[in-house]
Structure 1
């Protein structure tokens, strides 16, 4: 189906793997497009309840492949036509999305990880705000997500200095959900993804939506959105199962419906 992305569904988890290992999974126009389509497919698929985005080989994503960008090309148009639609597809996804950062995530690769809901890092992984080293500005949503995760001052520091951020540092800064030992990588990422896939999918989508809108809502607007979301959640089969399981003193079995 894709050439630069591997796409596989296992146990209601869509595994989306950037597949240009010989180029450290650097972005090209084709990879931007195929990743966008893979996210869109997983978002629409009723059998998918969680997405994992990772990289083939030793890198998560090293950013833009500069060989794919002619020197006289308008960078703004590259973002508008390639990156922004990809990031917006990810932003619209109502299912939980995990960035399984198996190696370096630099430049737009770091932006991709920041745009996901959860970031699981291999102990050997790292982040690099590489843009400043070639006289550019962090893009693809980087400066939108980064200060929301770690605050304005630290975001400015990372973006301007462009220093390598180890997995330990990323954890200390609050950038990641969990750092995983190399020998436990596959097992722990799979367990985390399948745990999310077993949860009430509709409720997770509503939580994501209301958290995003909270940044631009008044308290009064937020309270009304709470009421609207809770009404919808209360109509789901998963809510009914949760209540029934509570009454029967057993673990609920959610179906994502």
Structure 2
């Protein structure tokens, strides 16, 4: 177990569980937490295949900790606003890296979401490949209410899942989505009673681990790139992936 700045990492063989551990503030996020998440991503052992992200207490994450963002420190709103634009953008790129490692091709990431997943919390759930939602989950991209934009790599993922028009409406209104609507829109992999969130996540994890790891990695790569390839390019990618798998299984690959 590793604990750092309000985030905990536990590992059980091929499964790593990242827990946001500031339940007293509904797991409101800070730059220190993002630094810890980046570290976890860099130091994850190669045998890990599935990463589960969850929140302690009553919520997944209520978003950015505004007390930190509006206070002092090198990542506060005031400090970022006074930095040269290139330096401020580089700082934000570091924040984004806390989320984007969950996209890694050799991992499948699952967000186990209950209660609030607001702003940065919603974007953390979007960073994961799959989302298991408790029926009490409440999602919102609330940055617009602060005069800000979603900047933690969530906008592209949202468009991929729900389309441009719906993503625009969600982001510019900042409204709440309940679990049932999230399911209808394609944001949820599963919606389960809150009492069943842990067991449903465990069952999904077990199903993911049952497949051949190299085949799973190839399948994720095929699906992740499908929307950006032409049909001919996608078919070529399928052929090439299958040849790699056949050669590996036959022991003739490099």
> TM-score normalised to the size of structure 1?
0.84
Distance (whole Å) between structure 1 residues aligned to residue 112 and residue 205 of structure 2: 10
Match of 1:254 in 2: none
SS in 2 for 1:15: strand
Decide whether aligned partners of structure 1 residues 166 and 16 sit closer, same or farther in structure 2, where only a CA change above 3 A counts.
same
- CA root-mean-square deviation: 2.0
Match of 1:213 in 2: 225
Please state if 1:228 is matched with 2:251: no
Alpha-carbon offset, residue 20 of structure 1 = 1.5
Match of 1:247 in 2: none
Aligned partner (choices 181, 187, 209) of residue 193 of structure 2: 181
Decide whether aligned partners of structure 1 residues 235 and 20 sit closer, same or farther in structure 2, where only a CA change above 3 A counts.
farther
Please state if 1:16 is matched with 2:29: no
Alpha-carbon offset, residue 11 of structure 1 = 5.4
Aligned counterparts, 1:1-257, within 5 A: 1-3=2-4, 4-10=6-12, 12-42=14-44, 44-46=45-47, 48-69=48-69, 70-74=76-80, 76-82=89-95, 84-236=96-248
- Is contact 2:17–2:53 with CA below 8 Å preserved after alignment? yes
Q: Which runs of 5+ in 2 are unaligned?
A: 70-75, 81-87
Deviation >6 Å, runs of 4+? none
Alpha-carbon offset, residue 67 of structure 1 = 2.4
SS in 2 for 1:88: helix
Q: 86-95 or 57-66, which moves further after superposition?
A: 86-95
- Is contact 1:13–1:194 with CA below 8 Å preserved after alignment? no
Alpha-carbon offset, residue 219 of structure 1 = 2.7
